[in-house]
Every structure is written in C-alpha cells, then in structure tokens.
Amino acid sequence: MNTPLTIAVWALVGGALGVCGTLVLSLQRADLRIGHSIALTAGAFGVLAGCVLGWRASHNDDQILLFWFAASAVAAVSAAIDLRRRIIPNQALGVGLVAWAVSMLLWGVGFESVVRAVLSAVVVGALLLVVSYFSAGGFGMGDVKLLALLAMFGGVVSPHVVVATLIISSATGGAAGVLLVIMQHIRTREPIPFGPFILCGWLLTILLTSDKLLNAGFVS
C-alpha cells in the first residue's frame, strides 16, 4: 500500500474512532454535556493520530501498530474532552486499560515487559501526584492518570518512550502556557487544559521512535 493511501486509511479510522468514542462516552457521562463540537474535536485529534500511525505503517514493518493506535485513540478522546470541559473522564482511561490488558495477551508480551510497563505507570503516577499537589490545580488528576496510562503502554518497550513522552508533553504545554500569557489570553497562574499536550507528546514520541524500539517488548 502506498504512503498517501496508507495514511488516508489510518486517518479515516482514527477520525471515526475519535468521533464514535466520544459520542459513546457522552451516553455514560451526560453531566459532561459532550456535544457535536467535542466529538468533532476528538475526530480531528483522531485523524492526527491516524496520520502518525499511517506514516509509521507505510515506512516500516511494524506488526503492533494497533497497540500504539489504541493508546493514541484514548489520548485523542481524552484530549478533546479536556480541551472543552477541563476534565479527563475515568471511563476513557478505563477503556485504555482494558485495551492494554488485551494487547498483552494477543501479542504474547514477555513477563519482563509487563513488569516494566506496570512499574513505569506506578513511578510516573507517583511522580506526577507530587507535581499535581504543588501545582495548585494547574495539573489535575486526569492528567496524572492519562500520563500513567500512556507510561504503561510505552513501558512495554522501553523507559525511553515514557521519558520522551513526559519531556515533550511538558515542553509543549509549558511553551503554550507562556505564549498564552504573553498574548494575554490567560492570567499568569490560570491553568490550561494539558490533555492536548499529552497527546502531542505521545504522538511525537511514536513518530520519532525507531522501528526496533517500537517492537522491542513484543516476542511474537
């Protein structure tokens, strides 16, 4: 399959998952008032995730892209809701956790990789809990749980994936915050939705990670 067609297919699937996932979630969380605008935002984020995964699919022989796509889809839906409602629903993260567990069974991941993934999530979660405590509301529990979930996915292959996601997310989020303050769109200590920057960090990490490393934790 040529590159443009591969990317288009993955982008279409990503967009559909973003929209459908958000609309399904709206049935469970009516209190969030998840309307069509949020669903379309999730669809746009899903298209972005699909483009990244589609590019990877067309340039290498990855056999486990669906594993990365599952995490990316959850991050896309979470980012869209966080952007509009300043909250990351536990239901979305629960779907991601189930997808991770199923993936461990489907792809025959070794015990060492599973342990590394769980430890990555625990360490990242504990570290970010401290950050959240001292951030005075600027870094919420939803952000902590989403990054811990992505650490569990990334930890399957290498701590490098986890660290890269944290660094890029923090850098892009911090830069955006400074820019918004300079442009006077927000006050100095006003919190910003961090979900989109977590998604950005995750997708850039996938885009830049070597083929060998993306497959490192999978034995079959």
Segment 34-75, tens digit of pLDDT: 788 899 999 999 999 999 999 888 766 566 788 889 999 999
Q: Please state the pTM of the whole predicted model.
A: 0.89
Amino acid at the residue 159: P
Residue 219 lies in a domain: no
Residue with tokens 């430890």: 119
Percent of the chain with pLDDT over 90: 50
Residue ranges making up the domain that contains 125: 3-214
Indicate the number of domains in the chain: 1
DSSP state of 86: S
Does 9 reside within a domain? Answer: yes
Q: How far is 202 from 149, CA to CA, in rounded Å?
A: 11
Task: Establish if 220 belongs to a structural domain.
Answer: no
User: Is 98 inside a domain boundary?
Assistant: yes
Q: What is the DSSP string of 146-214?
A: HHHHHHHHHTTT-HHHHHHHHHHHHHHHHHHHHHHHHTTSS-TT-----HHHHHHHHHHHHHHS-HHHH
In tens, the pLDDT along 17-44 reads 999 999 888 887 877 777 888 999 999 9
What is the C-alpha to C-alpha distance for residues 168 and 149, in angstroms, rounded to an integer? 16
Q: Does residue 15 belong to any structural domain of this protein?
A: yes
In a domain, 24, yes or no: yes
